[in-house]
Amino acid sequence: LSIYKIPQAKKWIKDDVDQFLPSILEFRDKAFPCSFEKHGFSVKGRLRCRENEQIESLKQKEIEASLSLDSHHIYNSVWTVARALSTALISISKGRMLKEDGKASELKRIQPWQVFATLSIKSLLNIMIV
């Protein structure tokens, strides 16, 4: 397993899509009823779709739980990337040499691959688990 491959629980197969698609289409038809309108003098018509979903149908408790989960994932993502940046910076600064006049040489710019190399598979999986 390389650093760039993310393990997946299972692969999508056609049967999964065939079972999932009808429910998505049913939701679309209920939530977004569409009508075709054409002006009498116009050659072109247009499809108008309106959203029927009630925003206030979610309970406040459900909204707060969802936002809390999002905040948790965002926090963990930012923390993991910050830790990877810190690790990459430390590894670069350890290799920094002093010049003849006693001044430290400039730090090299961190390249994207250096950050990704310091991210662990475990930390990436923890971020992606919903």
Query: Residue 96 and residue 21: Cα distance in Å, rounded?
Result: 56
Q: Report the mean per-residue pLDDT for the chain.
A: 67
Q: How far apart are CA 130 and CA 99, in angstroms?
A: 49
DSSP assignment string, 49-99? E-----GGGS-HHHHHHHHHHHHHHHHHHHHHHHHHHHHHHHHHHHT--B-
pLDDT exceeds 50 at position 1: no
Residue 97 has pLDDT above 60, yes or no: no
State how far the Cα of 83 lies from the Cα of 89, in Å rounded to an integer. Answer: 10
The domain segmentation of the chain, as residue ranges, is 7-35+63-129
The closest alpha carbon to 97, from 89, 88, 86, 106, belongs to 106
Name the pTM for this structure: 0.37
**pLDDT confidence bin for 130, thresholds 50/70/90:** very low
